[in-house]
Amino acid sequence: MAGGGGIGAIGPFPAGVDTPEQREEYDKLRRRVLWTLPSGLYVLGSRAGERRNGMTLNWVSQVSFEPKLVAVSVEQGALTHDLVRDGGVFVVNTVSREDRAIVRKFTKPVEVDEAARTLNGFAFHDGLTGAPVLDQAPAYIECEVRQTVDVGNHTLFIGEVVACGFQADEETPVLRMEDTRMNYGG
């Protein structure tokens, strides 16, 4: 997954990068450099009314410790985007390294089985915010949106941590992008 590909080189370009070929080359170089930024891989739980979703996401960071704020950047076309905007909450679910296959299951809107309490077959329960916490997430962080910032083709949702917890041993290794062959952004 390589966001920004296929739609022509995106500026700005440094001085001397002038021809279409140079711009294309610079565009690819910048993508590879950006891909070296280390990141984790998570399933973002969202909910508005009775609509729930889970989405694979790596753009997550704590951005303040007083108050405790965590930001996630979500594609404007995603269902999750509308659910977080309308519901005003999100849950960052960490993923065990052993569960790496899970991230491929959350790259489009999920099938919710309300009776079985599953998202694409994965058991969940509603957190304090009402958004879905995956039962198999080693840890979860529930947030209420405090600020919404338009950042181009994504929206940065800045949420305050209102609940969190471990559901597995605290030492459980959590999934990172480099554990997979995937990329995002760049």
Ligand X SMILES: Cc1cc2nc3c(=O)[nH]c(=O)nc-3n(C[C@H](O)[C@H](O)[C@H](O)COP(=O)(O)O)c2cc1C
Residue (22 or 96) nearer to ligand X, CB: 96
Q: Is the dihedral of CA 49, 54, 60, 64 positive or negative?
A: positive
**Least distance from C-beta 154 to ligand X, angstroms?**
6
**What amino acid is encoded at 21 in this protein?**
E
Kindly list the residues in this chain that would bind ligand X in the complex (CB under 6 A).
Answer: 1, 41, 53, 55-59, 73-75, 78-80, 103, 106-109, 154, 182, 184
- Other CB atoms closer than 10 Å to residue 131's CB: what's the count? 29
Residue (21 or 98) nearer to ligand X, CB: 98
Distance of alpha carbon 76 from alpha carbon 82, whole angstroms: 8
| Residue whose pair of structure tokens reads 């009314």 in the numeric block | 49
Residue (58 or 129) nearer to ligand X, CB: 58
**Least distance from C-beta 13 to ligand X, angstroms?**
25
**Least distance from C-beta 17 to ligand X, angstroms?**
28
**Least distance from C-beta 71 to ligand X, angstroms?**
11
DSSP run (H or E) holding 43: strand 42-48
Tokens of 73: 């950047």
184 SS3 class: coil
Residue (28 or 176) nearer to ligand X, CB: 176
